[in-house]
Structure 1
Amino acid sequence: MPKSSTKEGLRRAAEAPQLPSNPWRFILFCLKPFRWLLLLMLVLETGQAAGSILVPYAIKALMDAVASQPVPVGDWLETFKQPLLLLAGLNLAEIVFSRSSGAVLIIMGPRLRQGTARSLFAYLQNHAPRYFGNHFAGALAHRISETAMSVNHTTWSIICDFWPIAVTFSVSVTLLLDVHQGLGLFVAAWVLMYVLISYWLATRCQPYAQDFAATRSMVNGKIVDAVTNIINAKLFARLQHERAYLDSFLDTELKSARRTFWYMERVRWFQFTAAAILKIGTIGYALQLWQAGEISVGAFAMSTGLAILVIGDARNLSRRFLEFFEYVGNVANGVDTIIQSHEIIDVPDAKPLQIKQGRIEFKDVCFSYEPGRQVFERLNVLIEPGQRVGLVGFSGSGKSTFVNLILRNFEPQAGQILVDGQDILLTTQDSLHAQISLIPQDPSLFHRSLKENIGYGKLDADDAQIGFAAKLAHAEEFIAAMPEGYESLVGERGVKLSGGQRQRIAIARVMLKDAPILILDEATSSLDSVTEKTIQENLDRVMGRKTVIAIAHRLSTIAHLDRVLVFDQGRIVEDGSHQELLDKQSFYYRLWTMQAGGFLPDEVV
Structure 2
Amino acid sequence: MDAPFTIADDAPPLSRSPWRFVLHFYLKARTALIAIFFFEAGQAACTILLPYAVKEIIDAVTLANDTGASVFATAQNALILFALLNLGIVLFSRASGAVLVMTGPRLRADIRKSLFSYLQHHSHRYFVSHFAGSLANRIAEVSMSSMHALWAITFDFYPLIIKSTVALIILFTTSPQLALVLTVWLAIYVYASYVLAKRCRVYAKDFAEARSLVTGKIVDSVTNVMNAKMFARRRFEEDYLTDYLNHEVNHALRTFWYMEKLRWFQFSAAMVLMLAMVGYALKIWSDGGMSVGDFSMVAGLAIMLIEAARGLSRSFLEFFEYIGNISDGVSTFIQPHEIVDKPGADALRVTRGEIAFHDVSFAYKEGLQVFDHLTVTIEPGQQVGLVGFSGSGKSTFVNLILRLFEPQAGVIAIDGQDILTVTQDSLRENVSMIPQDPMLFHRSLMENIRYGRLEASDDEVIEAAQKAHAHDFILQTEQGYASLVGERGVKLSGGQRQRIAIARAILKNAPILILDEATSALDSVTEKQIQQGLDFLMQGKTVVVVAHRLSTISHMDRILVFDSGNIVEDGSHAELLQQGGHYARLWNMQAGGFLPESIET
TM-score normalized with structure 1 length? 0.93
Match of residue 536, structure 1, among 531, 535, 541: 531
Q: Which residue number in structure 2 is paired with residue 95 of structure 1?
A: 90
Provide the C-alpha distance between the structure 1 equivalents of 2:351 and 2:40, rounded to a whole number of angstroms.
63
Once structures 1 and 2 are overlaid, which stretch shifts more, 319-328 or 469-478? 469-478
DSSP-derived class of the 1:391 partner: strand
Provide the C-alpha distance between the structure 2 equivalents of 1:412 and 1:222, rounded to a whole number of angstroms.
33
Answer whether contact 1:378 1:415 (CA < 8 A) is retained: yes
Once structures 1 and 2 are overlaid, which stretch shifts more, 488-497 or 476-485? 476-485
Q: Which residue number in structure 1 is paired with residue 311 of structure 2?
A: 316
* Cα distance change of structure 1 residues 232 and 439 upon mapping to structure 2, 3 Å threshold: closer
After TM superposition, list the pairs within 5 Å mapping 1:366-445 onto structure 2. 366-445=361-440
Once structures 1 and 2 are overlaid, which stretch shifts more, 149-158 or 209-218? 209-218
Q: Which residue number in structure 2 is paired with residue 474 of structure 1?
A: 469
Give the percent of matched residue pairs that are identical in Structure 1 and Structure 2: 57
Equivalent AA in structure 2 for residue 315 of structure 1: R
Q: CA deviation at 1:293?
A: 1.8
Provide the C-alpha distance between the structure 2 equivalents of 1:148 and 1:110, rounded to a whole number of angstroms.
10
DSSP-derived class of the 1:69 partner: helix
CA deviations 1:413-452 (Å, max 9, x no partner) are 1211111111111111111111110101111100100111
After TM superposition, list the pairs within 5 Å mapping 1:197-596 onto structure 2. 197-205=192-200, 261-596=256-591
Once structures 1 and 2 are overlaid, which stretch shifts more, 169-178 or 268-277? 268-277
Once structures 1 and 2 are overlaid, which stretch shifts more, 303-312 or 562-571? 303-312
Match of residue 196, structure 1, among 180, 191, 196: 191
Provide the C-alpha distance between the structure 2 equivalents of 1:337 and 1:245, rounded to a whole number of angstroms.
24
DSSP-derived class of the 1:316 partner: helix
Q: CA deviation at 1:263?
A: 4.4
Q: Which residue number in structure 1 is paired with residue 60 of structure 2?
A: 65
Q: Which residue number in structure 2 is paired with residue 3 of structure 1?
A: none
| Structure 2: gaps of 5 or more residues | none
Answer whether contact 1:8 1:21 (CA < 8 A) is retained: no
Provide the C-alpha distance between the structure 1 equivalents of 2:582 and 2:421, rounded to a whole number of angstroms.
36
DSSP-derived class of the 1:425 partner: coil
Provide the C-alpha distance between the structure 2 equivalents of 1:224 and 1:433, rounded to a whole number of angstroms.
29
Q: Which residue number in structure 2 is paired with residue 104 of structure 1?
A: 99
Q: CA deviation at 1:350?
A: 0.7
Equivalent AA in structure 1 for residue 368 of structure 2: R
Provide the C-alpha distance between the structure 1 equivalents of 2:344 and 2:480, rounded to a whole number of angstroms.
46
Answer whether contact 1:503 1:526 (CA < 8 A) is retained: no
* Cα distance change of structure 1 residues 252 and 329 upon mapping to structure 2, 3 Å threshold: closer
Provide the C-alpha distance between the structure 2 equivalents of 1:408 and 1:253, rounded to a whole number of angstroms.
38
Q: CA deviation at 1:471?
A: 2.0
CA deviations 1:79-122 (Å, max 9, x no partner) are 22211111111111111111111111111111111111111111
CA deviations 1:228-260 (Å, max 9, x no partner) are 666666666666666666666666666665555
Equivalent AA in structure 2 for residue 66 of structure 1: V
Answer whether contact 2:550 2:593 (CA < 8 A) is retained: yes
DSSP-derived class of the 1:394 partner: coil
* Cα distance change of structure 1 residues 24 and 444 upon mapping to structure 2, 3 Å threshold: same
Provide the C-alpha distance between the structure 2 equivalents of 1:13 and 1:89, rounded to a whole number of angstroms.
55
Equivalent AA in structure 2 for residue 597 of structure 1: G
* Cα distance change of structure 1 residues 76 and 340 upon mapping to structure 2, 3 Å threshold: same
* Cα distance change of structure 1 residues 181 and 220 upon mapping to structure 2, 3 Å threshold: same
Provide the C-alpha distance between the structure 1 equivalents of 2:237 and 2:409, rounded to a whole number of angstroms.
51
* Cα distance change of structure 1 residues 525 and 26 upon mapping to structure 2, 3 Å threshold: same
CA deviations 1:185-211 (Å, max 9, x no partner) are 111122223223323442455555556
* Cα distance change of structure 1 residues 22 and 124 upon mapping to structure 2, 3 Å threshold: same
Provide the C-alpha distance between the structure 1 equivalents of 2:94 and 2:109, rounded to a whole number of angstroms.
23
* Cα distance change of structure 1 residues 216 and 458 upon mapping to structure 2, 3 Å threshold: closer
Provide the C-alpha distance between the structure 1 equivalents of 2:43 and 2:58, rounded to a whole number of angstroms.
23
Answer whether contact 1:446 1:492 (CA < 8 A) is retained: yes
Q: Which residue number in structure 2 is paired with residue 56 of structure 1?
A: 51
Once structures 1 and 2 are overlaid, which stretch shifts more, 44-53 or 475-484? 475-484
Once structures 1 and 2 are overlaid, which stretch shifts more, 383-392 or 459-468? 459-468
Provide the C-alpha distance between the structure 2 equivalents of 1:422 and 1:480, rounded to a whole number of angstroms.
43
Answer whether contact 1:519 1:550 (CA < 8 A) is retained: yes
Answer whether contact 1:365 1:412 (CA < 8 A) is retained: yes
Q: Which residue number in structure 2 is paired with residue 602 of structure 1?
A: 597
CA deviations 1:16-62 (Å, max 9, x no partner) are 11222222111111122211211221111111111101100111112
> Matched residue pairs, number?
599
Equivalent AA in structure 2 for residue 410 of structure 1: F
CA deviations 1:350-376 (Å, max 9, x no partner) are 111111111111111111111222211
CA deviations 1:532-588 (Å, max 9, x no partner) are 223323322332221111110101111111111111111111111111111111111
* Cα distance change of structure 1 residues 330 and 597 upon mapping to structure 2, 3 Å threshold: same
* Cα distance change of structure 1 residues 55 and 215 upon mapping to structure 2, 3 Å threshold: same
CA deviations 1:277-305 (Å, max 9, x no partner) are 22221121111111222212211010111
Q: CA deviation at 1:73?
A: 5.2
Answer whether contact 2:502 2:533 (CA < 8 A) is retained: no
After TM superposition, list the pairs within 5 Å mapping 1:166-181 onto structure 2. 166-181=161-176
Provide the C-alpha distance between the structure 1 equivalents of 2:241 and 2:345, rounded to a whole number of angstroms.
53
Answer yes or no: is 1:152 the counterpart of 2:144: no
Equivalent AA in structure 2 for residue 362 of structure 1: F
Q: Which residue number in structure 1 is paired with residue 74 of structure 2?
A: 79
Provide the C-alpha distance between the structure 2 equivalents of 1:511 and 1:174, rounded to a whole number of angstroms.
76
* Cα distance change of structure 1 residues 243 and 121 upon mapping to structure 2, 3 Å threshold: closer
Answer whether contact 2:131 2:216 (CA < 8 A) is retained: no
TM-score normalized with structure 2 length? 0.94
Answer whether contact 2:54 2:293 (CA < 8 A) is retained: yes
Equivalent AA in structure 2 for residue 183 of structure 1: L
Answer whether contact 1:201 1:318 (CA < 8 A) is retained: no
Provide the C-alpha distance between the structure 2 equivalents of 1:242 and 1:542, rounded to a whole number of angstroms.
42
* Cα distance change of structure 1 residues 406 and 454 upon mapping to structure 2, 3 Å threshold: same
* Cα distance change of structure 1 residues 344 and 192 upon mapping to structure 2, 3 Å threshold: same
Provide the C-alpha distance between the structure 1 equivalents of 2:288 and 2:69, rounded to a whole number of angstroms.
29
Q: Which residue number in structure 2 is paired with residue 4 of structure 1?
A: none
| Structure 1: gaps of 5 or more residues | 1-6
* Cα distance change of structure 1 residues 366 and 32 upon mapping to structure 2, 3 Å threshold: same
Equivalent AA in structure 2 for residue 441 of structure 1: Q
* Cα distance change of structure 1 residues 127 and 580 upon mapping to structure 2, 3 Å threshold: same
Provide the C-alpha distance between the structure 2 equivalents of 1:253 and 1:345, rounded to a whole number of angstroms.
36
Equivalent AA in structure 2 for residue 196 of structure 1: Y
* Cα distance change of structure 1 residues 221 and 111 upon mapping to structure 2, 3 Å threshold: closer
